Amino acid sequence: MNGLHGIIFSYEKRNNLRELTDIRSASSIPFGGRYRAVDFALSNLVNAGCTDVGVVLHGRYQSLLDHLGTGKSWDLSRKRGGLKILPPFAYRQDWGETAFRGKMEALGGVRSYLDEIRQDYVCLMEGDLVVNLPLGEILERHIQSGADITAVCGNDSFRVEDGTYLQLSPEGRVTEVLYHLNNPRGYRSLEVYLISRSLLLSLVDECASHDQYSWRRDVLQTRCGQLNIQGYIWNGFAAQIRSVQEYYDRSMQLLDPAIREDLFCAERPIRAKSADKSSAYIGPEGCCVNSMVADGCSIGGTVENSILSAGVTVEEGAEVRNCILFKDTVVRRDARLSHVIADKCVEILPGHALMGQPSYPIVIAKGSQV
């Protein structure tokens, strides 16, 4: 069967996400009001005709399980294939008790699942990547080029901490794989890779036999000269959620209509789980300016340059500016928020004020009362 199979990696914790990953993995962090980060990876795959997707979990995955359900929201609820949740893989101890070491170890832990893949090609993605890629076009180029691996990389504006950087020849072949750079150079990998099923199985077995667990070190870097690794440069919007600051900055970029048009293009829709709430309501005294507001919100005060998830309440006299408010957060009367990220079910008490900065937004943990 000549098609594409998707494997999404969902890690327990990412670098500096602080309170945002106390109860969840980065894959299930809300983004853009009505989406979770993993919605973008799933939608990318489905838009490319992918019908089978496996999600590799590791720790703090209950939020993600609740969100994914049976996969119906992405048309992945099927009797054969569809969405498969791959349980936390073991190392030498109990499940989930040690740190994530690498993709090859994760794949080795679900080796029996890989044997059942029906498609000829596999796309490896990370669940914290926010992007809208033409994966169908990338797959065609991968097949036509005869590449062993196609690595999708971003332009020079896509830079994050501890990234993988690729040096490309004029013909587009990856000549060098670099990471842990003080001064990054080359193209930043989006951590999206296309590879044939047969080659993936061979690499998983070979790495397991040599106790090699890292995809970028033991496959990309070590075998760069042996394998034909081609780069595909993506010039559109892309974000990986690796820190609170990056999450805040990338989220605020969505208020730019040009970026929203790029990320939510009609040709490749981003699917999400329905909130099952009524339409947002703006009261007679309410004001909403340059903001993204999800269903079920009630705005009686002022909301400006902010992103509100489903069920957020802003009472009369309250002011919310340059903020990201998660589901069912309540901002009471006359409270004032600026540069704040509030997790689910947070309550800001009447008259209270919280003022962060663009370079250091305040983060409020889930269920807090401030």
What confidence tens digit (pLDDT) does each residue in 225-247 have? Answer: 899 999 999 999 999 888 899 89
Query: Is pLDDT above 90 for 99?
Result: no
**Mean pLDDT of the region 179-208:** 91
Please give the Cα distance from 202 to 210 (Å, whole number): 13
8 Å CB contact between 324 and 35: no
Provide the residue type at 114 as one letter. Answer: L
Query: Is pLDDT above 70 for 195?
Result: yes
**Domain covering 281-364, topology:** UDP N-Acetylglucosamine Acyltransferase; domain 1 (2.160.10)
| pTM tops 0.85, yes or no | yes
Per-residue model confidence as pLDDT tens digits over 168-181: 999 999 999 998 87
Residue-level pLDDT at 158? 57
Banded pLDDT at 147 (limits 50, 70, 90):
very high
Banded pLDDT at 57 (limits 50, 70, 90):
confident
Domain 281-364 in the same topology as domain 4-263: no
What is the pLDDT of the chain when averaged over all its residues?
Answer: 90
Per-residue model confidence as pLDDT tens digits over 323-354: 999 999 999 999 999 999 999 999 999 999 99
**Mean pLDDT of the region 165-170:** 92
Banded pLDDT at 88 (limits 50, 70, 90):
low
Which three-class secondary structure state does DSSP give residue 122?
strand
8 Å CB contact between 337 and 351: no
CATH tag, 4-263: 3.90.550.10
**Mean pLDDT of the region 26-46:** 93
Residue-level pLDDT at 185? 83
Residue-level pLDDT at 160? 60
* CA atoms within 13 A of residue 297's CA, in its CB half-sphere: 29
Q: To 5 degrees, how large is the angle CA 24–CA 56–CA 212?
A: 115
* CA atoms within 13 A of residue 61's CA, in its CB half-sphere: 20
Q: How would DSSP label each residue in 76-122?
A: ---SSSEEEEEPPPPSSSSTTSS----HHHHHHHTHHHHHT--SSEE
For the chain, what percent of residues have pLDDT higher than 90? 71
Domain ranges of the chain: 4-263, 281-364
Q: Please provide residue 4's backbone torsions phi and psi, each rounded to the nearest 5 degrees.
A: -120, 135
Residue-level pLDDT at 161? 59
